[in-house]
Structure 1
Amino acid sequence: MTKVPVTIMRGGTSKGAFFNEQDMPELRNDWEEFLLDVMGSPDHLQIDGLGGANSLTSKVAIIKKSEQAGVDIDYTFAQVSIDKKMVDFKGNCGNISSAVGPYAIEQGLVAARVPVTEVRIYNTNTKKVIISEVEVEDGRVKQEGNCSIPGVPGTGSPIYLSFEDAEGSVTGRVFPTGNAIDFIETSFGAFCISIVDVANPLVFVKAIDVGLNGIELPDDYSPDSLAKLEEVRSIAAELCGFCSREEATDQSPAVPKLTIVAEPRDYMDLTGRKRKAEEMDLVIRMMSMQRPHRALAITGAVCTTAAAYLENTIVSRMISDRSSTLRLAHPAGVMETQAKLYEKKVHAIKVVRTSRRIMEGYVYTKKEYAMATKKNHRKEQLVF
């Protein structure tokens, strides 16, 4: 059994375990087994680990002080499968990214600067830089504030994330297939999709083409609808070159992310609040690890915003009036993104989030691991 320092943090509408990389197993090949161990996977309840039996709470951030010029922190994201023995390192999670800056400041990896500390984060999954602006008060990360985000109760201090030049985050290309639109054939019909890779690869599909109206809430999807959506996503995974469509659910469950879009229309969100069509530019529903997302992934919002400015995508064809602010209506409410344009092209996309440190302590693994042995290393071995 191994005792390892860990911090549990909420970032946006996600929650995850945060580790300093020096406290991880020394061999990268051991990371997957270690993370499955500490999160309690595979088990649909994750009863024997830190996971919360939901893809939004089965996430991990691994942080270290960067040695790269112009970067403060190296950050690796891991999506830990709940019911399968696998960890997906392919993409990033924008919500978890919002907690990386506060974690780094509180851990002393970045010097706190009042009133706002800018943390330049290099995401190793996508090889892209994210700029995080964190409010600081009395040398500590500010927790209280008036910023509220759909899907999270209460308010907190705002954290601004800027995703700069995020094109080709996983595939190396904005359009992984070379096309803004691809025509696919499925077991339930033929229609068009758009696969766009900005911050994370997404596959966009019109709600009407998959038998939906676009304003479904997470519990409204039938098993048949979920199977159809996963078939579309699996075809897109094959088109991206990740794996065959038959292997996609097991080998590439996190990317590309299936994203359903529809024109603005009135709907009731998860809080019971009526959202009016004039409050939004696009209705959007995302899948996360084959289940409906209860809000909206930040990387998904970034990719959708970019797709709105790219010619001939499904998204840009649905949005007639494109200003620098895009309003995306998701199950928990409406999220706004801001695009920074340069010569009519998107240079950066900014979103606002909140985060909170929930717990600091130790996690006890079931197995023993060869842990890293660096200066100031804090690992302890316990033998029972």
Structure 2
Amino acid sequence: MRQTAIPFHFLRGGTSRGPYFNRADLPEDRETLARVLVAALGSGHKLNIDGIGGGAAVTTKVAMLSRSENNDADIDYFFAQVSVEDGLVDFKPTCGNILSGVGPAALEMGLIVPQGDTTRIRIRSVNTGALVEAVVATPDGAVEYEGSAQIDGVPGAAAPVFLNFMDVVGSATGKLLPTGNLRDVIDRIEVTCMDVAMPVVIARAADFGLTGHETAAELDENRDFYARMEPIRQEAGRRMGMGDVTKSVTPKFALLAPPRNGGTVTARYFMPWNCHPTMAVTGAQCLASAVLTPGTVAEGLFTPPEGQPALVLIEHPGGAIDVTVDYEAGADGFRLRSAGLLRTARLLARGEVFVPGSVWAGR
């Protein structure tokens, strides 16, 4: 049987990369779609040798785009996290780094028409319902990729992509604090379970006997930590109303520690079975919200940022990421208006990716 060709654009979005598809070019049903994505990325081998994945969780991500039928959005962004080795696809989470490439990809695909020197694109996350405005440089009616913006975790400089996140509180669970508590104790570890852009279980590194300044590689070699962390994450997922999360990449897990390089706080973010080499955009919003919410496990680890909106600088293994948070915090709790970040993206390739005809014969 002949192979099936599927058009795609291949972009780096923030500190992640992967194929960006037009949703109309893929199977409609999730079961077949999952098989297609596993075949395309080469999931099932640590090097993704039989696909276009990169052998790491940050390089086995997929974006699927379509024109939105929602009056508040221009583009629908459907995300999938493909596992490196297990042949699994998780459609529950979203990814803010891959989101950085959605605006440029939508323009490249002709789903959006450039509006001038900059194009504002309203994006709806299909996975979570969150709304994000992306501002993309489009001089002379084409996406500009070269520029002077730099983000830690990516070499060199590129044109900026500005992201403004709105309505991200309770993105997966419907609540800022899905357990109803600022702090929970699970297996003698105090955690804050918070849902802002991404549901995250947050703990202090010191409670695991860690400094919080270990490299990603050092943490990934520490299998005793993962053996202790994973049952806590699974129980937290249950308490957050997310059911059995054994095979789900959500909720994520994060460790916090005092900063060392002038930031607000230090964080290590887990995806969840390995440490992120830098920091997820969605995770950064959740951690920034935890920093600004009195009574969470973050309290006491930092000097509170001043000003409104507040700039929260999160140190991570590859440097730092800053989140500008417009919020209210009072006796009735924390209320997020919006969170803004600067990212970059670059188109790396485009063409057709092939999957076996036995996996999918095409539309």
Give the TM-score normalised by structure 1.
0.88
Aligned AA (2:57): S
- For 2:28 and 2:336, how far apart are their aligned partners in 1? 39
Aligned to 2:194: 196
Aligned to 1:205: 203
Matches for 1:198-237 after TM superposition, within 5 Å:
198-221=196-219, 222-237=222-237
Secondary structure at the aligned position of 2:175 is classed as coil
Aligned-residue offset at 1:26: 3.3
1:55, 1:289 within 8 Å by CA — same for their partners in 2? no
Aligned to 2:321: 335
- For 2:137 and 2:40, how far apart are their aligned partners in 1? 31
Aligned-residue offset at 1:335: 1.1
Aligned to 1:295: 278
Aligned to 2:259: 264
Instruction: Note the alpha carbon deviations across 1:176-219, whole angstroms, 9 max, x for none.
Output: 1111110111xxxx121001000000110100111110000011
Give the TM-score normalised by structure 2.
0.93
- Among 311, 320, 323, the residue aligned to 1:325: 311
Aligned to 2:250: 255
Say yes or no: does 1:308 pair with 2:291.
yes
Aligned AA (1:331): P
Aligned to 2:11: 9
Aligned to 2:337: 347
Aligned to 2:263: 280
- For 2:197 and 2:16, how far apart are their aligned partners in 1? 17
> Could you say if the C-alpha distance between residues 343 and 330 of structure 1 is closer, same or farther in structure 2, counting changes exceeding 3 Å?
closer
- For 1:176 and 1:237, how far apart are their aligned partners in 2? 9
Aligned AA (1:314): V
1:11, 1:99 within 8 Å by CA — same for their partners in 2? yes
Aligned AA (2:285): V
Aligned-residue offset at 1:49: 0.6
Secondary structure at the aligned position of 2:131 is classed as strand
- For 1:136 and 1:230, how far apart are their aligned partners in 2? 44
Aligned-residue offset at 1:239: 1.8
> Could you say if the C-alpha distance between residues 233 and 343 of structure 1 is closer, same or farther in structure 2, counting changes exceeding 3 Å?
closer
Aligned AA (1:208): A
Matches for 1:1-384 after TM superposition, within 5 Å:
1-185=3-187, 190-221=188-219, 222-244=222-244, 248-249=245-246, 251-252=247-248, 254-265=249-260, 276=261, 279-323=262-306, 324-341=310-327, 345-366=335-356, 367-369=358-360, 371-372=362-363
Gaps of 5+ in 2: none
Secondary structure at the aligned position of 2:298 is classed as helix
Aligned-residue offset at 1:19: 0.5
Aligned to 1:268: none
| Greater shift in the superposed pair: 235-244 or 143-152 | 235-244
Aligned-residue offset at 1:24: 0.3
2:14, 2:97 within 8 Å by CA — same for their partners in 1? yes
Aligned-residue offset at 1:238: 2.1
RMSD value, Cα: 1.5
- For 1:229 and 1:308, how far apart are their aligned partners in 2? 21
Give aligned-pair identity as a percent. 36
Secondary structure at the aligned position of 1:61 is classed as strand
Aligned-residue offset at 1:343: 7.5
1:38, 1:363 within 8 Å by CA — same for their partners in 2? yes
Report the count of equivalent residues. Answer: 351
Aligned-residue offset at 1:115: 1.7
1:308, 1:322 within 8 Å by CA — same for their partners in 2? no
> Could you say if the C-alpha distance between residues 211 and 231 of structure 1 is closer, same or farther in structure 2, counting changes exceeding 3 Å?
farther
Instruction: Note the alpha carbon deviations across 1:120-161, whole angstroms, 9 max, x for none.
Output: 000011111111011111101111110000000010001111
Aligned-residue offset at 1:236: 1.6
Aligned AA (1:193): V
Moved segments of 4+, more than 6 Å: none
Aligned AA (1:138): D
2:45, 2:84 within 8 Å by CA — same for their partners in 1? yes
